[in-house]
């Protein structure tokens, strides 16, 4: 996306950047360290130092998928020519009525907390401050944001805490963001911009019809509070080139939520496309981030957390869209990921007040259905 005060790099510079990325991937360039784990006691200082140490360009460091398979947004440069980006294959689509039900009802505490943060709030960019701090266009695809209204490449814990929010409850300044979906039958207004056509993402961006942000038990009998500034990733934007690592089934249609698929769903008349993102919810009790952005918080198995981990509220994001007929929509992604549906992903940083998080925990553990709680 074009932003005030920035300019797209000349083609020669982009080619040099891409060459540097290939050298890094091949091991020719060495000495680029990974981020250390960020604890609840030093969350602010770690975030600030990470941002200040990162060059404000692609290729500044190597905190992408080589660090253990994060969601793939990284600052290794454009590894592929965006012109080679391909639309999804017809085989990437499936008739949702042909998918067998595969979702079981969760056990555990039956309460939930829904926070209303709007649908889009005209906040989009191709940054990712978690996986590529300080790097403009570090994601190489466009993100929709709700919640914190300042989120960009240079966001830190402190800057997020000081910013405004689109959430009705002003105590929720959390950053919620995911890649956009595009209508491939229409031309977008970002054909020559970062995150758009310059990164191989073509078509008109579709605004969600609805966005639900719900916190639930994730199958746990009881949950404990998330620490402020906890960062969580869902899915993997580089699932194709990483052989399916950390990929999740996310796609379905309204009225068919008992089944999820890793293909784009073709919905019957009157039904809309849905993306359902159920985040990891077993926290190690110490770190708010980790070098791979995953090790500090993992998925529960049948509602049970691994030894040494504790259940926290599970963020469940449900996005609903009206899409064009047929096989004519796709999620944004890296050019080399070919817009495959299994690259769907989501990012979150908890910037709720401690008081609001206590309310979330109380609602879940005491089987209350708390909806759109305002300050």
Reported as a single tens digit per residue, the pLDDT across 28-87 is 333 333 344 454 444 444 444 343 333 344 433 333 333 334 444 443 444 455 555 678
- Does 15 fall in a domain? no
Euclidean distance between CA atoms 150 and 156, whole angstroms: 10
Say if 19 falls within a structural domain.
no
Asked if 148 and 174 touch (Cβ cutoff 8 Å), the reply is: yes
CA distance between the termini of the chain: 33
What is the per-residue pLDDT for 374? 60
Q: Within a domain: residue 176?
A: yes
Closest CA to 88 of 193, 192, 195, 203: 203
Grouped pLDDT means (10 residues each) for the chain, 375 residues? 42 40 36 43 42 40 38 45 74 98 92 95 93 96 98 98 97 98 96 96 97 98 98 98 97 98 98 99 98 98 95 99 98 95 98 98 98 69
Assigned domain for 14 exists: no
CA distance 181 to 346: 13
pLDDT of residue 98: 98
Whether 25 is covered by a domain: the verdict is: no
Total domains in the chain come to: 1
Q: Give the per-residue pLDDT at 120.
A: 79
Does 155 reside within a domain? yes
d(CA 357, CA 361): 6
Domain encompassing residue 214: 31-371
Distance CA 75, CA 17 (A): 10
Give me the DSSP letters along 77-143.
---S-GGG--PPPGGGEEEGGGSPP--PPP-S---EEEE---S-TT-EES--TTTSTT-TT-SSS-E
pLDDT tens column, 301-344: 989 999 999 999 999 999 999 999 999 999 999 999 999 999 99
Assess if residue 12 is contained within a domain.
no
Helix, strand, or coil (residue 178): strand
**What is the pTM for the complete model shown?**
0.82
Is there a domain that residue 13 lies in? no
């Amino acid at each position: 996306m074009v932003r005030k005060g920035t300019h797209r790099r000349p083609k020669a510079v982009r080619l040099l950047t891409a060459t540097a990325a290939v050298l890094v991937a091949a091991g020719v360039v060495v000495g680029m360290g990974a981020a250390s784990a960020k604890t609840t006691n030093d969350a602010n200082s770690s975030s600030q130092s990470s941002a200040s140490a990162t060059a404000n360009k692609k290729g500044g460091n190597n905190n992408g998928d080589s660090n253990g398979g994060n969601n793939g947004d990284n600052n290794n440069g454009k590894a592929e020519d965006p012109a080679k980006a391909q639309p999804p294959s017809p085989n990437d689509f499936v008739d949702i009525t042909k998918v067998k039900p595969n979702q079981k009802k969760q056990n555990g505490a039956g309460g939930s907390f829904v926070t209303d943060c709007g649908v889009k709030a005209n906040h989009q960019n191709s940054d990712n401050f978690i996986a590529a701090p300080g790097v403009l266009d570090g994601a190489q695809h466009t993100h929709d944001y709700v919640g914190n209204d300042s989120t960009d490449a240079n966001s830190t814990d402190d800057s997020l805490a000081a910013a405004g929010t689109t959430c009705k409850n002003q105590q929720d300044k959390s950053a919620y963001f995911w890649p956009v979906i595009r209508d491939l039958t229409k031309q977008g207004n970002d054909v020559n911009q970062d995150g758009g056509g310059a990164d191989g993402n073509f078509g008109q961006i579709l605004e969600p019809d609805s966005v639900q942000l719900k916190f639930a038990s994730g199958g746990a009998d009881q949950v404990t509070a998330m620490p402020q500034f906890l960062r969580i990733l869902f899915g993997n934007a580089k699932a194709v080139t990483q052989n399916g690592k950390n990929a999740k089934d996310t796609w379905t249609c309204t009225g068919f939520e008992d089944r999820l698929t890793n293909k784009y769903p073709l919905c019957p008349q009157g039904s809309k496309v849905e993306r359902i993102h159920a985040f990891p919810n077993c926290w190690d009790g110490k770190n708010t981030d980790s070098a791979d952005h995953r090790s500090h918080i993992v998925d529960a198995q049948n509602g049970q957390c691994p030894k040494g981990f504790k259940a926290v509220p599970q963020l469940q994001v449900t996005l609903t869209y009206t899409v064009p007929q047929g096989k004519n929509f796709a999620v944004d992604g890296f050019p080399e990921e070919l817009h495959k549906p299994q690259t769907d992903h989501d990012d979150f940083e908890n910037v709720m007040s401690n008081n609001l998080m206590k309310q979330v925990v109380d609602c879940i553990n005491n089987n209350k259905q708390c909806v759109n709680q305002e300050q």
